[in-house]
Each structure stands twice: as structure tokens, then as C-alpha cells.
Amino acid sequence: MILGVYNRAGVVTFSGLILALSACILSFNNRFELAVVCFMFAGLCDLFDGLVARKTDLTAMEKEFGFHLDSLVDIVSFGVTPGIILLHAGFNDTLDHILIVFFGCAAAMRLAFFNTTKKDHGADLRSFIGLPVTYSALVLPVVFTVGTFMDPGAYTVMVRVTLLVLGLLYVLKIPVPKPGGVFYIIFPLIGAVLSVFWIMKAMQ
């Protein structure tokens, strides 16, 4: 009676989407600090949904559904959400609009390329081609955090450069090593530390 496939991996993926949409809503309500926290946790969900899927006995149909679901969630979470957060954080000049559009388009191109080459048996299983869009959920919060200790003008430049560099890294044909087991520890630890920082700022 209900469309879709429901399993543990899908729950993690949808949790990431819920967090990303929550980040958008929070940014609309001028809760930048909490939006950043939700954005980071959306990245963590994307990091772990694949791990959960590999640990789950899935049918071929469930694997195919999860593959497409993950990509659709990624474009919302890591292609659109950062732009919405930045717009409501004051990055609303013409240059910012251009960079946000470029960033979103580059993310879409990266995901489409990944989808069309994922089943290429000749692909290097040890690395990605181009930077995965999920990395923005780690890089941008770090930039936002560093920016709280910087001059506003320098911070603005840093954010703009970060958007440009991330967008370029998404579409440049360069190998990016796939994260190993240690990354599944480092990313959550960084996320936890930054979350405490931003939650404390939200409570001030």
C-alpha cells in the first residue's frame, strides 16, 4: 500500500535528509548555530548509511533503491542545504549567489558522474574520482568555526574561497582516497567537538 523500501540503511539515509531539511528550517529562523549542527549530523548519517547497508543482508532491489535514494538525498543535503544556510547567514551579494549556484551545480555533476560510473568494473575501488559532496559537511562547519575567531572581512573571503575550491574539487578528475576505518572515528569526533561549540553559542 505504500511506495518505497524500508530497512535500517534507509532509516539512516532518511535521518540525514530530515537533519538537512531541519538545518534549512533553522537557518530560515535565524538559528545558524543549530543549523550547522544539523548539517554536520546529516553528513554523519551519509557516512554511516553505506556502512549499515554493507552490514545488512539486502536484496538486489533494495540495493538499487538505496543507491538512488542516497544520491537524491545527497543533492538536497550537500548541494542545496549549504547554500540556504549561507544565504540566511548574510552571504547574499551577487558574488555569493554565483558561488552558491556554482557549488550546487558542481555537486549535482559530481553525483551524476558517480552514479554513471559506480558500476564500472574497471574503476579503482581504493579511490573516488572527484571529491565526494559529503565532505562539505565536515569542511564548511570547520570553516564556520574558524571564522568566529576572524575578522568579518577575512571570514567572508575564506567562505567564498571554500565554496569555489569545493566546487572545483567536485568536478576535477583527480583521485581522492576513500576513507578508511579511522575516518569513521575522526569525523564523529570532530562533529561532536564542533557540535558542543555551536550548541554552547546557541545558548548564549
pLDDT single digits (tens) 130-167: 999 999 999 999 999 999 999 999 999 999 999 999 99
Q: Flag whether pLDDT at 198 surpasses 50.
A: yes
**118 contacts 95 by C-beta, under 8 angstroms:** no
Q: Calculate what percentage of the chain has a pLDDT beyond 70.
A: 97
CA nearest to 117, candidates 131, 128, 106: 128
Domain covering 8-203: architecture: Up-down Bundle (1.20)
Find the range with the poorest average confidence among 13-22, 112-121, 167-176: 112-121
**86 contacts 100 by C-beta, under 8 angstroms:** yes
Q: Where are the domains of the chain?
A: 8-203
- Average of pLDDT values for 18-27? 98
* DSSP string for 35-76: HHHHHHHHHHHHHHHHHHHHTS---HHHHHHHHHHHHHHHII
pLDDT at 180: 72
